[in-house]
Amino acid sequence: MPTITNQHESARSLALCADVEAGKRNLDAFGYTVHENFIPPEQVAALRERVLEQAEMELEAGVASISASGHAGKDRHYGGRDETALPISQQVGFLPNKGAEFRALMHHPIALAYARHVFRGVPFNIVSQSALMLRNGGKRQVLHADQQAWPFATPVPVMINVTVALSDYEADMGATNVVPGSHRFPSPDLDMPHEEAAASIGSALLPMVCKAGDALVFESRTWHCQGDSVSDKLRLGIGSVYGMHMVKPQDFYPAIIHDSVYDHLSEEDKDMLGFTVHYEYGGRIGPRNAHDLRANTNCRHPYIPELRRDGSGDEAVLYENMRVAKTDVLSHPVA
Ligand SMILES: O=C(O)CCC(=O)C(=O)O
């Protein structure tokens, strides 16, 4: 197993950057970078307001994703407001369904530049976009890599997380901990204590402290975890994770985008949400009924049900001949 060399000693101070070229160098050397001033204060305020409103209303409706330890807590469940306290951890997931602000964020040019860089030009799309809220009492998460589920090491990452901070991230607020240089190693042993695991590759855990408006950028081989929160300040950020096109996405947007949202998506939005089939490979979408116009951006399939000579089956319809039923939500014309 290679060891972390002196090259990585400098990563014990944070791999900050203010421009994409420096950020790419940090990603290559350390597996992460903290990109300062990723979005301007007005955008921080607008995103923050939308997330907080959505989070509050999900609590009121009893459908909030909450936990007493963190976004990956074993006690995570859908629930509502507690009379006495706000949840220690709340995740507002599936954000592309919850506001145009979030769909705009997924096209952020700096995030896309980082994704293009780490994926070496392989086409990619967004695989999840969620807001994570953490309050006092949050517990340090298991040290992991986001491609932990892959049972083999990869020479390049298959995903990259670009988390925009909508509050400051301070160490005692549970700022995400990272292990600089760990992207050069296989995923960590989940049972090994954090410090021991980091030391085993000659590195250490470092909290990614930053200001609201900065972005924490880490590729999917990099070992990381949510830290402990012992602060009365709310830690709030939105993680947009991009994956190579053939990666099965954590959030399967072609299936979960609401019809009312789908109807207003641009072709660029659909592409980013994974509606494009690259190299005639993964993610083909066939109509779910004879009126279903939800389709790939670059190929169309007819509706072909079980066909029976005795007429007991349904009828096949070419995509071009599909018409929206009066009762359907979709209203856009056939492409
Ligand atoms: O919330 C954090 O600090 C860590 C997030 C994380 O582990 C992830 O997105 O994979």
Inside any domain, residue 288: no
Q: What number is the average pLDDT over the span 93-103?
A: 97
pLDDT attached to residue 325: 54
pLDDT attached to residue 30: 96
Inside any domain, residue 166: yes
Q: Does the pLDDT at position 232 exceed 80?
A: yes
Q: Does the pLDDT at position 228 exceed 90?
A: yes
| Å from CA of 225 to ligand 1 middle | 6
Inside any domain, residue 64: yes
pLDDT tens across 107-122, in order? 999 999 999 999 999 9
Kindly report the protein residue whose alpha carbon is nearest to atom 2 of ligand 1.
226
pTM comes to: 0.92
Region of 12 please: left (phi>0), alpha (psi -120 to 50) or beta. Answer: alpha
For residue 332, name the pLDDT band (cuts at 50, 70, 90).
Answer: very low
pLDDT attached to residue 324: 62
Of 169, 286, 274, 159, nearest in space to 226 by CA: 169
Give the residues surrounding ligand 1 with Cβ less than 6 Å away: 71, 132, 141, 146, 161, 176, 224-226, 239
Q: Does the pLDDT at position 275 exceed 50?
A: yes
pLDDT attached to residue 133: 98
Tell me the residue type at 318: L
CB atoms within 10 A of CB 38: 23
| Å from CA of 218 to ligand 1 middle | 10
CB atoms within 10 A of CB 9: 13
**Ligand 1 atom nearest to 134, measured from its CA:** 1
Taking the CA of residue 218 as centre, how many other CA atoms within 13 Å lie in the half-sphere pointing to its CB?
A: 28
Inside any domain, residue 307: no
pLDDT tens across 34-83, in order? 999 999 999 999 999 999 999 999 999 999 999 998 888 889 999 998 87
pLDDT attached to residue 82: 85
pLDDT attached to residue 72: 85
User: Which residues form the domain of 32?
Assistant: 6-251
| Å from CA of 224 to ligand 1 middle | 7
Give the mutation target among 226, 228, 234, 241 for probing the ligand 1 site: most ligand atoms within 8 A of CB: 226
Lowest mean pLDDT among 79-83, 109-113, 209-213, 331-335: 331-335
Kindly report the protein residue whose alpha carbon is nearest to atom 5 of ligand 1.
226
CATH number of the domain to which 67 belongs: 2.60.120.620
Helices (H), 89-227: 100-105, 109-118, 194-200
Inside any domain, residue 87: yes
Contacts of 6 (CB under 8 A, 6+ apart): none
Taking a C-beta distance cutoff of 8 angstroms, is the pair 66, 79 a contact?
A: yes
Count of structural domains within the chain: 1
Cα 63 from Cα 43, distance rounded (Å):
27
| Å from CA of 266 to ligand 1 middle | 29
Q: What is the 3-state secondary structure (H, E, C) of 10-28?
A: HHHCCCEECCHHHHHHHHH
Inside any domain, residue 201: yes
The two beta strands, 235-244 and 124-134, are antiparallel
Percent of the chain exceeding pLDDT 90 equals: 82
Inside any domain, residue 170: yes
pLDDT attached to residue 329: 43
Cα 118 from Cα 57, distance rounded (Å):
37
Inside any domain, residue 119: yes
Strand ranges inside 159-273, DSSP E? 159-165, 177-178, 206-207, 215-219, 224-225, 235-244
- With tokens 């990869």, the residue in question is 154
**Ligand 1 atom nearest to 146, measured from its CA:** 10
